[in-house]
Structure 1
Amino acid sequence: MAYFSMGYVVLNRPWAFVQWLEKAKIEEEYILMAEPDHIFVRPLPNLARDDPAAFPFFYITPSEHESVLRKYYPKERGPVTNIDPIGNSPVIIKKTQLEKIAPTWMNVSIQMKEDQETDKAFGWVLEMYAYAVASALHGVQHILRKDFMIQGVLTYGKIGEWRFDKRAYQDRPPPRNLTLPPPGVPESVVTLVKMVNEATANLPGWDDGR
């Protein structure tokens, strides 16, 4: 699958959804798309509606990239403000809607990655823009829910000698019993580390990498 990553591993995500939707027997009417490192801290509200729900990201700004986005969302489609400031996660969406969006999401992602100007403009959030564009191309608008995540509060960061960064564990799992943050760290980070510790303590074979 080297072609589908092109040095950008997230490019495999839309391709994975295309295959899953084609081959899996999905009986549910709605799909929740979330990240592997998303942790539920409260019961998820029932957002199963006709229009999908998504979290608005402050760094997804279609109006600031109109010249680039017009390559994929032409003027006859309408203003670029039709493109929601979102990625594909977290999103709750009807399966029938995602079945239409996913192939377009995959193709737009590849087109964006192959275009140097777009790749430079969007960087690591390129695939997020591709999902937003694909949704707009299919006339799907998301209900923007700022309460979907607490990202605006959570920052990993570093205080003194204490540090937590998920990217440090790209090649290996985090050890059991991570040191808890010192005073001054946001409570959301404390909760995150506690929940990681709880999970690793209860997963058999964690220390063996199984």
Structure 2
Amino acid sequence: MRGSITRLLACSQEDLKKYKGLDLGPTFVHPNYRHNPLNNDTSASYNKPASVMHFSREANFSEEFVLFIDADMVLRRPIDPVALGARKGVVVSEYVPYMIGTSNGMAAEFLPAEAVPRAKPVGWYHIFHRDDLKRIAPLWLEYCGRVRLEPQRYWSINGSIPHNIPTGDVYVEFGKAPWISEMYGYAFGAALAGVEHIITQGIVRYPGEVQDSGQGPRILHYGIDFTIDSSYNWNKMSYQKLDLFSCAPPLEPCLSDGL
């Protein structure tokens, strides 16, 4: 696939001094927004829109289109932005079934009426025209914070709204912000930016959903947990403290220098 790959790394200058692995590949370092300096809220989810915002403003890139994927994704086949329909004003992204807040009244709680129809149930990957990336990124960050800090717009807290508006997050507790606040931040921010979407289905799949027939998805998404053939289970959350440079099990044989 044509194009370069850049890792977006959230890291403070102090932590950067002791960070191992900066030379694993081309890396753009930006301030860590876990403790968001713009609204004083704390969530690691701020780092996704913050990384895109800083990259779009500060990185010296000349590509017309940018494919954004998560760090827990693997590219399996080439992705052609133009063939998929990406162009200025149109973002290509995947249909996300649990993003029900784009069509059940939640979007109307955050957006002006004219922007509500543009809020789409998308995520997992995005193909941006460079100009759209710059417009969407700060709104993505802003609305991530608004969804997190204004739960009274979708929870009926002391009568704030007539009834609860489901967010689609099955793990969220009453009155709390869903983890997918960042995804709604994108949906609402992109809607306010005025872009339209081409919505794909099947570009992204979780490993447990992949069948042996056909070419399969272009992107594998290694989500929290997956099982294959009832004989193998893997969960990335089991490796949160894994040191890739320790050469300890299960990383055997040891990673060689330069890898």
Name the TM-score class by shorter chain.
Answer: 0.7 to 0.9
Judging changes above 3 Å, is the alpha-carbon distance between structure 1 residues 23 and 126 closer, same or farther for their aligned structure 2 residues?
same
In structure 2, runs of 5+ residues without a counterpart are: 1-32, 156-166, 170-177, 211-224
TM-score, with normalisation over the residues of structure 1? 0.72
**2:85 pairs with 1:85:** no
Distance 1:65 1:176 in 2: 49
Aligned residue number for residue 204 of structure 1: 256
Q: Tell me which of 234, 237, 247 is aligned to 1:167.
A: 237
Corresponding pairs, count: 183
Aligned residue number for residue 97 of structure 1: 132
What letter matches 1:148 in structure 2?
I
Aligned residue number for residue 57 of structure 2: 22
Aligned residue number for residue 193 of structure 1: none
Task: Within 5 Å, give how 1:106-117 maps onto structure 2.
Answer: 106-117=141-152
Write 1 or 2 for the structure with the bigger share of helix: 1
Distance 1:119 1:6 in 2: 19
Q: Tell me which of 73, 98, 113 is aligned to 2:111.
A: 73
Task: Within 5 Å, give how 1:102-181 maps onto structure 2.
Answer: 102-117=137-152, 121=167, 123-151=178-206, 153=209, 156-157=226-227, 162-173=232-243
Distance 1:161 1:92 in 2: 35
What letter matches 2:96 in structure 1?
F
Distance 1:119 1:11 in 2: 20
Please state whether the residue corresponding to 1:28 is helix, strand or coil.
coil
Displacement of 1:48 in angstroms is: 6.0
Write 1 or 2 for the structure with the bigger share of strand: 2
What letter matches 1:49 in structure 2?
A
Displacement of 1:159 in angstroms is: 7.2
Distance 1:28 1:63 in 2: 30
* Percent identity of paired positions between Structure 1 and Structure 2: 21
Do 1:48 and 1:93's aligned partners in 2 also have CA atoms closer than 8 Å? Answer: no
Displacement of 1:97 in angstroms is: 0.4
Judging changes above 3 Å, is the alpha-carbon distance between structure 1 residues 172 and 205 closer, same or farther for their aligned structure 2 residues?
farther
Judging changes above 3 Å, is the alpha-carbon distance between structure 1 residues 148 and 203 closer, same or farther for their aligned structure 2 residues?
farther
Do 2:102 and 2:187's aligned partners in 1 also have CA atoms closer than 8 Å? Answer: no
CA RMSD of aligned residues (A): 3.3
